[in-house]
Amino acid sequence: MARITKEEVLHVARLARLELSDDDVAKFQEQLSDILEAVSKVSELDLSDVPPTAHPLAIANAWAEDVPRDCLPLDDVFANAPDRDGDYFRTPPA
Amino acid sequence: MTVDTLRLSAEEANRLVTQGEVSSDELYRAYLDAIGERDPELHAFLYVCENDPGEGIPIAIKDVIGTRGIPTTAGSKILESYVPVYDATVIANCRKRGLRVIGKTNTDEFAMGSSTENSAFGPSHNPWDPTRVPGGSGGGSAAAVSAGLAPWALGSDTGGSIKQPAALCGHVGLRPTYGTVSRYGVVAFASSLDQVGPVARNVRDCAFLYSVISGRDTNDSTTVDVPRVELPTADDLKGLRIGVPKEMNGAEGIESGVTAAVQSALERAESLGASVEECSLPRSVDYGVACYYLIAPAEASANLARYDGVRYGLRDDGADFREMVMRTRDAGFGDEPKRRIMIGAYALSAGYYDAYYGTAQKVRTVIKREHDELFERFDVLVSPTSPTVAFPIGAKIDDPVAMYMNDVLTIPSCMAGLPGMNIPCGLSEGLPVGLQLIGPQFGENTIFRAGHALEQAIGFDVVPERLR
């Protein structure tokens, strides 16, 4: 199967919000190609009548009582924040 | 009295404390002393607690499990300074029983790996031979329990991260049935696969710790009510039907010493009254690894999107929001999370979704059906846990695909949501060999019974030879 291109590496890196160095792009192009080649094995099977499995247990709709309860205090919520402005997380401008 | 932490089971430690022969503080200090003596060589711990509160015995916790007020890094620079403001449900359950956190154990970054070499803080070392890996991702918990640095520990398992380190370090580890143990407060990797489970010196300790942490939790909607846990006592296997999947016992790459030790354990099982019969998982072994390395990265790419430098964790500089996020993630994630995030993003992206992720989900159905069929005829399935004994540090780190093949025997049952337990079954080249017992969903009690009887018959000494 085709190896993935440098452009494709940059495309998935953008999708994944990763800024890669040029060295990394070359390294990952090689490694991701090897991995994709290995996992492409899944396409060998005839799966025309097989439904997908998203989750291994046969459960659906786990209901819970809708009871109000305390949430975390704001100081706890912000305890690990890199930057805070009052009751807001502060970030660089969008 | 002096406490020999190398030999002490959790059950015995608990007896000493409840009967007042040793105080909880004395016991805790004995383990701190053992850590002080042996952890500089092993690097099992990323953080050691000087004096965690409680009246009971200590427990080590894999560093992907959130502990209030105690750093929780997931082995990643992106969480290096993260201190949780609440306890994971499994930690709250341990605290209710008086258990005291003695420290946080090393892990491959975000539990992605089979050797702990992907930890941002350096690898752990195997107590049987420090030039070798302890397995992974839960190599820190494994090394800690094996070297008597904790009586037991919690791990997490997505594709083998409890079972494989237990095999390589020569002790017991259970990956429970999916849905039996809450993941609330646990750093998420692949949510349709992640399970927390016990790491212990023997099967009874493992079963007891499973009873402490399991059960329905309203904070994790995938959890269900769990059958009552029975601590195993019987030393026979009368009536037990053991299936031996030929593909899992004859897979390419299984070392001859591993095969020999597992064969000898199967002969013991027969002499204890079990029936042993060959069976087949024709596609689960061949296609399991490929299926896993699409589904787990796809889920990881979504779960790890939360590390954006905004609410917690590392933040790098950037002129605007997008640049800040991209630089933060480049600086904070190591190579393995980057690889998996990108593979996952690729497998989920427009044009490739059906060919990769969609196809893998169908293969998952095939794997689950193959296992379901076998459990109509068998109570447990047996195979080696790892195809090899512990390998040298550095041997596979530059070849991701070779590293992924370490999990070839642990992955299929994980994909099917089944419980699996490692017990040590012998030595090969002076290193432990692990035997994997797989049960049907919610079949933990059967696994405990089988594992306990085999453990008694095998009589494996879990203390590493060089520490005796």
Q: What is the complex's ipTM, to 2 decimals? A: 0.96
Q: Which of A50, A57, A89 sits opposite B310 (nearest CB)?
A: A89
pLDDT at B442 over 70: yes
Could you give the CA distance from residue B285 to residue B384 in angstroms, rounded to a whole number?
A: 13
B275-324: pLDDT as tens digits = 999 999 999 999 999 999 999 999 999 999 999 999 999 999 999 999 99
Lowest mean per-residue pLDDT among B1-5, B45-49, B213-217 = B1-5
**What was the pLDDT predicted at A2?**
64
Q: Phi and psi dihedrals of B69, rounded to 5?
A: 75, 0
DSSP string, B142-167: HHHHHTTSSSEEEEEESSSTTHHHHH
Q: Which residue has the tokens 């076998």?
A: B374
Is residue B149 in a domain? yes
- Using CA atoms, how far apart are residues B169 and B134, in angstroms rounded to an integer? 6
- Mean pLDDT over each residue of chain B, to the nearest integer: 97
Is B82 an interface residue toward A (CB < 8 Å)?
Answer: yes
Tell me which residue in B222, B355, B417 faces A43 most closely, judged by beta carbons. Answer: B355
Average pLDDT over residues B420-432: 98
Does the pLDDT at position B452 exceed 90? yes
Tell if the CB–CB gap between A39 and B343 is shorter than 8 Å.
yes
In a domain, B296, yes or no: no
User: B172-175 and B195-200 as β-strands: parallel, antiparallel, unpaired?
Assistant: antiparallel
Residues 6+ apart with CB under 8 A from B235: B272, B452, B453, B456, B457
User: Per residue in A50-92, pLDDT tens?
Assistant: 999 999 998 888 888 899 999 999 999 999 999 999 999 999 9
B314 occurs within a structural domain: no
A89 part of contact set with chain B, CB < 8 Å: yes
- Please choose, from the candidates B184, B199, B186, the residue with its C-alpha nearest in 3D space to the C-alpha of residue B154: B199
Of A13, A41, A56, the CB nearest to B287: A41
Interface test with chain A among B317, B359, B414, by most A beta carbons within 10 Å: B359
What's the mean pLDDT in B261-266? 98
The predicted-structure confidence for B328-341, as pLDDT tens digits, reads as follows: 999 999 999 999 99
Q: Chain B closest CA to A74's CA: distance in Å?
A: 11
B-chain CB neighbours of A41 within 8 Å are: 286-287, 290
B58, containing H or E segment:
strand B58-62
- The answer to whether the predicted template modeling score (pTM) of the entire model surpasses 0.90 is yes
* Angle B397-B402-B403 from CA coordinates, rounded to 5°: 50
**B359 to A9: CB separation less than 8 angstroms, yes or no:** no
For the domain bounded by A1-43, which CATH number is listed? 1.10.20.60
Q: Is residue B363 part of a domain?
A: no
| Measured CA distances, B384 to B168, B253, B281 (Å) | 11, 12, 15
Asked if B371 reaches chain A (Cβ–Cβ under 8 Å), the answer is no
Query: Residue B130 sits in which domain range?
Result: 10-282+368-467
Is residue B187 situated within a structural domain?
yes
In a 10 Å sphere around its CB, with 0-12 CB exposed, 13-18 middle and 19+ buried, how is residue B317 labelled?
A: exposed
Biggest alpha carbon–alpha carbon distance for chain B: 71
Residue B404 lies in a domain: yes
pLDDT over 80 (residue B432): yes
pLDDT, residue A1, reads 55
Say yes or no to pLDDT of B115 above 90.
yes
Q: Kindly report the CATH number assigned to the domain that includes residue B235.
A: 3.90.1300.10
In a mutagenesis test of the B interface, which of A1, A11, A35, A40 is the best target, namely the one with the most B β-carbons within 10 Å? Answer: A35
In a domain, B342, yes or no: no
Segment holding B13, helix H or strand E: helix B10-18
Q: Is the CB of B345 less than 8 angstroms away from the CB of A80?
A: no
- Per residue in A12-35, pLDDT (tens digit) is 999 999 999 999 999 999 999 999
The three-point CA angle B451-B457-B461 to 5° equals: 85
Strand extents, DSSP E, chain A: 84-85, 88-89
Cα B66 to Cα B214: distance, rounded to the nearest angstrom: 16
Determine, yes or no, domain membership for B127: yes
Residue A68 near chain B (CB below 8 Å): no
Give the separation between CA B189 and CA B178, rounded to whole angstroms: 14
Query: What domain count does chain B have?
Result: 1
Other CB atoms within a 10 A radius of the CB of residue B293 amount to 27
Cβ–Cβ below 8 Å for A34 and B86: no
Nearest-CA distance from A28 to chain B in Å? 7
Q: Is the pLDDT of residue B1 over 80?
A: no
Question: Rounded to an integer, what distance in angstroms lies between the CA atom of residue B189 and that of residue B111?
Answer: 7
Please say whether the dihedral angle defined by the alpha carbons of residues A49, A53, A56 and A58, taken in this order, is positive or negative: negative
A30 at interface of B, judged by CB pairs closer than 8 A: no
- pLDDT (tens digit per residue) in B161-186: 999 999 999 999 999 999 999 999 99
Residue A35 to residue B416, Cβ atoms within 8 A = no
The residue extents of the domains of chain A are 1-43
Q: B20 is written with which tokens? A: 């007042």
Spell out which residues of chain A touch residue B305, defining contact as CB-CB under 8 Å. 17
